Amino acid sequence: MQVIILGSGSPLPDPNRAGPSTLVRTKAGDLLFDCGRGVLMRAAAAASGAGAFRAVFLTHLHSDHITDLNDIFTMRWAMSLQPNPLRVIGPIGTAALLDATEAMLEPDIGYRIAHHDDLTWRPTTLVDEVEHGVVFEENGVTVTAGPTDHSPVRPTVGYRVEEGDKSVVISGDTVPCTGLDELCNHADMLVQTTIRRDFIEQLGIPRLLDILDYHSSITDAAGTASRNYVGTLVLTHLVPAPAQGTEHEWIEQAAAVFDGKVILATDLLTLDVSG
């Protein structure tokens, strides 16, 4: 099992970091977790794409995590040679999101059907709204969802992917909580969205200060990894993006709390999950 960070960025546009998105490469196929801006460009660099995703998992419906869902929706349909429904798994509200996405793209759908004689079907999706428990089982790969806490954004979920004795957790945006702890128990890897609390407090910008109460700080993420005996902690969705030469500061803050391996994500970082 492999983890590929397609996008390590945040809502703040960055020339070097695409929006939040993680690809987990498994025996069941490529599983995509969230789909921020630029996801298909990064997926192409990882030899994947809309047609290859076995399923798309959404942690929550904040715009930066679903920005390019419309691109996946369109390319999955327009580049397939036969009907190829897109499977989407996410929290309550996901079905309405897909309905709205299709409605937004209605003019484009009409244009393409009118222009391509061999495109005789509409795009379709298979949507599962989930809260807790096993949500995907295929070819020896299991994905389990668990509730997280990104209040006032509700509901939100994290996911644990297991293949044989290997396991990786995708946290999504959350503060430390019981649901995340349950997912992380003895996981080989935790991919955790993270903010640099000390830097944001120094900036003192109200709109940025507001994010402190519903994201995990570096020490929060490290604490979650430590108390749940996680093997490797991957810090991603970095707010603000580290200035060149300061990357070690993030790792040092985490290492003060967590004695496992700490990795600061970059786009297209590829990691083997060791069981």
Backbone φ and ψ for 7, nearest 5 degrees, come out as -140, 125
Predicted confidence band at 274 (pLDDT cuts at 50, 70, 90)? confident
Q: What's the pLDDT score for residue 221?
A: 98
CA–CA distances in Å: residue 90 to residues 13, 30, 111, 132, 234: 24, 16, 29, 11, 22
Structure tokens, 69 = 């869902």
Question: Residues 114-171: pLDDT tens digits?
Answer: 999 999 999 999 999 999 999 999 999 999 999 999 999 999 999 999 999 999 999 9
Active site (annotated) includes residue 99: no
Q: What's the pLDDT score for residue 207?
A: 85
Looking at 64, 68, 173, 220, which residue is catalytic? 64
Q: d(Cα 56, Cα 34) in Å, to the nearest integer?
A: 7
Structure tokens, 93 = 């509200």
Structural domains in the chain, CATH included, are 2-272 (3.60.15.10)
Question: Residues 193-205: pLDDT tens digits?
Answer: 999 999 888 888 8
pTM of the model: 0.97
